[in-house]
């Protein structure tokens, strides 16, 4: 299905943006360390923006992580079930995860909208409009919800729910 590949592509793009934000965290912290040690001054925004970048990177990477099978799973019960039982359990778990992620996306969209409508800013000297970091979190949660729906569709149509081609294989010898 074409829409599933579009969701995968969008997830991959935003995971790439999340990776860039992790690099931004490193740059901010290095700049803060250099500013303090060489110039004896602090960058007032460094820790605040590093925290925003971190939360944004986690949320923007969540959908891609879901697609590549990177989220933590407990497979204890799965091994005790037949192939059909495993498939039914995957569908049930994915349905519950979909409901949770849709609710999370809805709640974060409402949260960001409230900040936007009230003009809320951070309580720091920078007075960052909170709709920006909250909107990014809402975007990431929405992408996760879309990826969860795509996973559910894949399970129903018999496609692999995870993209094994992009997932690294770790083996213990």
The pLDDT tens digits of the residues spanning 138-165 come to: 999 999 999 999 999 999 998 888 887 6
Q: How far is CA 128 from the centre of its chain?
A: 22
- For 54, the domain range is 2-157
Cα–Cα distance measured from residue 141 to residue 63, given in angstroms and rounded to the nearest whole number: 8
pLDDT at 173 over 70: no
Mean pLDDT of 112-124: 96
Domain contains 172: no
**In the predicted model, what is the mean pLDDT of the chain?**
91
Cα–Cα distance measured from residue 154 to residue 95, given in angstroms and rounded to the nearest whole number: 12
Cα–Cα distance measured from residue 92 to residue 96, given in angstroms and rounded to the nearest whole number: 6
> Per residue in 51-106, pLDDT tens?
999 999 999 999 999 999 888 776 777 778 888 998 999 999 999 999 999 999 99
Domain contains 173: no
DSSP-derived letter for residue 36 is I
pTM of this prediction? 0.88
- Band (pLDDT 50/70/90 cuts) for residue 170 is very low
Domain contains 171: no
Domain contains 168: no
- Band (pLDDT 50/70/90 cuts) for residue 166 is low
Please report the pLDDT score of residue 30 as a whole number. 96
Q: Where are the alpha helices (DSSP H) in 35-130?
A: 46-67, 83-118
Cβ proximity of 148 and 94 under 8 Å? yes
pLDDT at 172 over 50: no
The domain tally of the chain equals: 1
Domain contains 166: no
Q: Which of 72, 58, 38, 70 is nearest to 104 (CA)?
A: 58
Cα–Cα distance measured from residue 28 to residue 46, given in angstroms and rounded to the nearest whole number: 5
Helix (H, G, I), strand (E, B) or coil at 121: strand
pLDDT at 169 over 70: no
Please report the pLDDT score of residue 168 as a whole number. 55
Please report the pLDDT score of residue 171 as a whole number. 42
């Amino acid at each position: 299905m074409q829409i599933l590949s579009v969701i995968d592509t969008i997830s991959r793009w935003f995971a790439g943006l999340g990776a860039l934000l992790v690099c931004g965290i490193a740059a901010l912290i290095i700049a803060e360390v250099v500013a303090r040690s060489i110039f004896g001054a602090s960058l007032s925004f460094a820790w605040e923006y590093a925290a925003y970048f971190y939360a944004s990177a986690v949320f923007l990477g969540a959908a891609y992580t879901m697609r590549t099978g990177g989220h933590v799973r407990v497979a204890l019960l799965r091994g005790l079930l037949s192939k059909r039982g495993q498939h039914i359990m995957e569908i049930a778990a994915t349905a519950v995860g979909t409901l949770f992620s849709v609710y999370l996306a809805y709640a974060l969209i409402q949260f960001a909208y409230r900040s936007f409508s009230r003009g809320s800013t951070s309580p720091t000297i920078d007075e960052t409009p909170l709709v920006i970091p909250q909107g990014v979190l809402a975007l990431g949660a929405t992408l996760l919800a879309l990826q969860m729906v795509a996973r559910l569709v894949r399970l129903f149509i018999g496609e692999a729910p995870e993209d094994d081609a992009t997932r690294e294989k770790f083996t213990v010898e």
